[in-house]
Structure 1
C-alpha cells in the first residue's frame, strides 16, 4: 500500500474510533479511546518513519559532507590542483549558505579523461545520501536528450518543464549537462531565468539548486597554457585560475560548438566558475591505474601501472608530455595487463 493511502486509512480509523465512543458502552469506550491514542501516536511518528526509509527532500537525505569531498578530491582526483580547489570552496560555500542569491553554476572544461564527470559524481555523492542514484540528481546528455536540431523549440519547452517540475519537487536539486560541446546553440539559454538572481519565478525558488555543465570546449586553450608552462620549465602546480579563466570563458563564448556560444549565461555573468581541467601527464595516469587497482581489490603493482601508462598515446608526439585520453580508458584496459 502506498504511504499516502496508508496515512489516510489510519486517519479514517482514528476518526471512526473517536466517533463510536458516544454510541457504545463505557468499557468499549475505554478501548476505543485507547486505540485512538495509539493511532494518534503512530500518526505523529509515521512521517519520520517514512522519511527514514524513503528518500525525501530533507536533511536526512541531503547533507553536505565537506570533509568527505575534500578527502576524495585529494586522494582520487589526480593532476587537477585548480579544479580541486575551486570545487571544494565553491560547493562548501554554497551549501553553507542558507539564503543564496542564485543557484550554483559551474562549467567544467577540459579534454576527455581529465576528471570532469568524476568530479560531478563526487559532488553528488557528498551532497546527497543516494549520490548519483538520488531522485534529486538529474543528468542531461546532449546526444541523447537533444539529438535533432529541427526540434530545438520543443527541447527548450521540455527542458524548462523538467527543471521547473524537479525544483518544485525539491529546491535542492542538481542538474548535470554532459556533452555541452554538442549542445545546439541557444538551447541552454532557455533556462537562463532559472539561473538568475530571482527570489522566485511563478512561485518557485531556484536559488538552492546546482547546475553543472561538462564540456570538452575550451580544451585547446587549457592545453596551450599547460604546454607553455612545460616549455618554460615551470611546474604545472604554478598554473593558477587567473592564468586561464578569462581566456577559457572567451573561448567558450565565441565557439559555436561549445553549447555556450554567445549565451546570456556568460554575458550576464551567471556562470560562477569556469573550471579548467588540465591535460594529464604520465605520472598522473600511473596514479589513476593504481587507484583503479585498489578499487577493484587488486594488490598494488607499480610495474603493471607503469606499463599500462607507457602504452597510452601522448602528445606532442616527440615529447610525449600529455596523455591524449587521460585516464578515460584505464578501467577497460586494466584487465588485459593484470
Structure 2
C-alpha cells in the first residue's frame, strides 16, 4: 500500500492534467485510511485548484473584499455599510461554535441595492461567486402558485437539504419573497432555528437571505419624517428606526413571510433596510456605470443626460426606481 502513496506523488508533475482522476481513485482506496497526514494539503493544492471545493480553508473566499465593496460600490445605504459586514464576519469567526445559521432579510423598494449586495456576499464567500455550485437562488416568480404551496414547501426544503448535503457553507438567497404564497417557508423553520442539526445534516454554517420589496413604502415614510420633520440627517438614522416597521410590514402583507413561522419563531437574526435613494446617490450610480463601460472622465452634461430620464417624487425627492434603470440608459449614452 505504501507504493500507492508514492505513485500518486510522482504523477503530480508529469501528469497534472489527470491529477483529479488520480486523486479520485486514491480516495476510493482512502488516503485517510492510510494515515497519510498530508492528504488534506494535497487535496487543497491540487484538486481544489482546478475544481470548486467545500472546505473551511476556502470558504469564505475573501470576506474582507465585502467590506471594501460595500464602502466603495454601494451608495446611500449607510446602515448596510455599518452593520452587514459585521454580521457576516461574526458568523464565520464563531462558525464552529454557532448554534444556528445566519438568517437575514433585505427590505426596500426596487433599485435600492438588495440583489446587488446579495451578489457581493456570494462573491466574498465563494471563488465562483453566484456561479458557485454552493450558491442557491430561489426566484419568487417560480413559487407564486398558491394552489401549489405544499409542493413549493417540499421543493424548497428538499433543495436546502441537498445543498447543505453538498456543502455545509452554502448560501441560500430567496428573491422576490413578496411574490411567494404565505406559509411557503413554514417547512424550513426548524432548519433555521437553534441547534439545527437535523437528520445528520448541519445547517448552522449556512447563510439564508430573504429579499423583499415589502417595507419599502413604510421606510420611505419614516425616513421622510425623520429627516424633514424631526431634523435628522439621513446618515444619522439608525437600524432601530426601521426594524419594527420591516418586521410588522412583511408579517402583515401578502407574500411568503405573511404570518410566517420564521418571524413567529424569531429565527431571523437581522432585518436590514435598503433606504430610498436621492439624487446624489443616483449620480454616484450613474458615474459608476459610466466607468464600467470605460468612461473614466464623466462630465456633468453626461450625468444630466441620464438624470433627466430618472423619475423623482416631487415631495420626498426620492427616486422612483432607484438605480435599477440606470444601466441601459448609461449604455445608450456610452455607445451613442
SS in structure 2 of the partner of residue 177 of structure 1: strand
2:152: which partner in 1?
155
* 1:219 maps to which of 194, 216, 219: 216
- Structure 1 residue 54, shift from structure 2 partner: 0.7
Q: Distance in 1 between matches of 2:88 and 2:39?
A: 37
- Structure 1 residue 260, shift from structure 2 partner: 0.6
Deviations 1:261-318 (A, max 9, x none): 1111111111011101100000000000111111222123142123312331111x3x
2:184: which partner in 1?
187
* 1:52 maps to which of 26, 49, 52: 49
- Structure 1 residue 4, shift from structure 2 partner: 7.5
Q: What pairs up with 1:92-241 in 2 under 5 angstroms?
A: 92-97=89-94, 98-144=96-142, 146-232=143-229, 233-241=231-239
- Structure 1 residue 47, shift from structure 2 partner: 3.2
* 1:327 maps to which of 323, 326, 329: 323
Conserved in 1, the CA contact under 8 Å of 2:165 and 2:201?
Answer: yes
SS in structure 2 of the partner of residue 156 of structure 1: helix
Q: Distance in 2 between matches of 1:11 and 1:314?
A: 60
* 1:337 maps to which of 306, 327, 333: 333
Runs of 4+ in structure 1 deviating by more than 3 angstroms, as ranges, are: 1-13, 40-48
1:256: which partner in 2?
254
SS in structure 1 of the partner of residue 104 of structure 2: strand
- Structure 1 residue 3, shift from structure 2 partner: 7.4
Q: Answer with 1 or 2: which has the greater Rg.
A: 1
TM norm structure 2: 0.85
Conserved in 1, the CA contact under 8 Å of 2:277 and 2:322?
Answer: yes
- Structure 1 residue 43, shift from structure 2 partner: 8.3
Q: Does 1:311 align with 2:309?
A: yes
TM norm structure 1: 0.84
- Residues 119 and 8 of structure 1: is their aligned pair in 2 closer, same or farther, counting only changes over 3 Å? closer
RMSD (Å) for aligned C-alpha atoms: 2.5
2:6: which partner in 1?
none
Q: Does 1:77 align with 2:74?
A: yes
Conserved in 1, the CA contact under 8 Å of 2:164 and 2:170?
Answer: yes
Structure 1 unmatched runs, 5+? 14-39
- Structure 1 residue 132, shift from structure 2 partner: 1.0
Deviations 1:181-228 (A, max 9, x none): 101100011111110112410111100000000000111111011111
- Residues 151 and 12 of structure 1: is their aligned pair in 2 closer, same or farther, counting only changes over 3 Å? closer
Q: Distance in 2 between matches of 1:11 and 1:92?
A: 33
Q: Distance in 2 between matches of 1:57 and 1:44?
A: 12
SS in structure 2 of the partner of residue 102 of structure 1: coil
Aligned residues: 308
- Structure 1 residue 67, shift from structure 2 partner: 2.7
- Residues 8 and 109 of structure 1: is their aligned pair in 2 closer, same or farther, counting only changes over 3 Å? closer
